[in-house]
Structure 1
Amino acid sequence: MTTRRLRTTAARLLAAWLVVLALVGSSVALVPAVAEVARSTWADVLASTRPIGLLTMSDGYTQVAAIALALAPLLPLADVATSLRRRRALLRLAAVLGVVAIVVLTAATAGGAVPVRARLTSLTVAVAVGLALGALISAALRPLLGAHPAGTPGPATRRLAVRSALGYGAFVALVAFTSRPVDSGVTPLLVRALDRLHTVGFPAWMSYSAVEFTANTVFFVPVGLIVVLLVGLRRWWWGAVAGFVISGSVELGQLLFLPDRFASLDDLLANSTGALLGALVGVVLLGRLARRS
Structure 2
Amino acid sequence: MINNNSFLTSNQNFSNFLFGLIIGAIGSALILFSQFSDFQIQFLQFKWLKNESVDLSKYSKNPNIFCWIMTTPKYHRERADHVEATWAPHCDKHLFMSTKKDNKLPIVNLSVPEGREFLWAKTKAAFKYIYDNIDISELEWFLKADDDTFVIQILSFILVLFFILWVNYLFVFIFHEIKKYLHASLGQTYPSGGAGYVLSRAALRKFVEIGLHGDKLCDSKEIYEDLEIGSCMRKLNISLIDSRDSKGKHRFIPVSPDNSLIKLPDDDYYNWVQSYSKFPYKSGPNCCSD
TM-score (norm 1): 0.25
Name the structure where strand makes up a greater proportion of residues: 2
The structure with more helix, counted as a fraction of residues: 1
When the two structures are superposed, what TM-score results if normalisation uses the length of structure 2?
Answer: 0.25
